[in-house]
Amino acid sequence: MATAPPRDSVPSVRGSVTAPASPTARGSVDVNLVVVVHGGGASNISADRKERVREVMAKAATEGYNILKAGGSAVDAVEGAVVILENDPEFNAGCGSVLNEKGDIEMDASIMDGKDLSSGAVSAVRCIENPVKLARLVMEKTPHCFLTAHGAEKFAADVGMPQIPVEKLITERSKKHLEKEKLDKGGQKPDCPKNMGTVGAVALDCKGNLAYATSTGGIVNKMVGRVGDSPCIGAGGYADNDLGAVSTTGHGESILKVNLARLALFHVEQGKTVDEAAELALNYMKSKLKGLGGLILVNKTGDWVAKWTSTSMPWAAVKNGKLQAGIDLCETRTSDLNFTVAPDPGLSCEPVLLCIKENERHGVRMELEAALLTTMGPWECQHSRIFHL
């Protein structure tokens, strides 16, 4: 009979499946392609939202993995995965970001290349659809690591990044969330993180390079100008090819104080497994500051972990063509990526995502593919993404 975990234990899920060694060309690196994504530490996710959240997490992880399979870099993969999450209003990043005390959006993001420790970050940006893309441009197009507010938006304009009206990023759900928070007159407490939906990704590519990206709208009802952990290198994330890549989520001020991402990699540096490193880092933050949160971590050999001390944390991971996803403790769904083909970039048709539940696999899959062929035509069917949850 299963027993509940000890009260102080850290909910976790770990993957460390290794594919059989395969012949490699001289000078190449024999590694496993890995992408792991998270959708933020949360106090709870309503039952009616769980399937939708799980679906989008799987879509983001699959997008990142497809980028790696096509020869893209770890940086490309984490950016691509996070863009999927920023574009979905279920999450507190990009469209759907929470509002500050004035009812406005201020978004933060960061990205880092473990190959040479190149990094880019932005904070308090308002008119940018995908802050993670702007963070990457800071990394690649400036001598700096961090731009903020109006300076970041001016840089975006200078490099030709489109800016959109803030109203297009504000959702009715975000407005209601702010109203409720003001009525409750609550600030964010360390043991009750309210930046639900912060998103992040880590990846290991075919050359052994690691990267992370993190993006957030911050905490609801925050003071104007407040910056949390997500854009801060070492707190919101870190990547180093010699160690691993981490993206964090949770109570931002606590994460900043303990430098959570780099702390986890310090434990990797000391010889700990990814599971041990994540648990030590999160337990330190919890014991020292009562701060709750979570993180995803992949090391240089492709072992990965998703671990959290908050009530739940949506996550998904793909390694060796195996997709795993979950939200709550002891919940993991595993499936094969049997059909994942990126669309031709020269065509405007968007790929289709079909999720086939375990008990529907055998009979329904062929019917769905036949329906796709009938309703969309052969090209769209060929370039759709079909996988199991």
Q: What residues form the annotated binding site for substrate?
A: 226-229, 249-252
Rounded (to 5) percent helix, strand, coil in the chain: 35, 25, 45
Whether the CB-CB separation of 90 and 51 falls below 8 Å is answered with: no
Catalytic residue annotation: 198
Distance, CA of 298 to CA of 306 (rounded, Å): 9
Distance, CA of 148 to CA of 171 (rounded, Å): 23
Distance, CA of 307 to CA of 50 (rounded, Å): 18
Distance, CA of 122 to CA of 139 (rounded, Å): 10
Q: Is the dihedral of CA 248, 251, 254, 256 positive or negative?
A: positive
Query: In the chain, where does DSSP find H-type helix?
Result: 47-69, 74-86, 131-141, 149-158, 172-184, 252-258, 260-269, 274-289, 361-376, 378-382
Binding-site residues sit at 226-229, 249-252
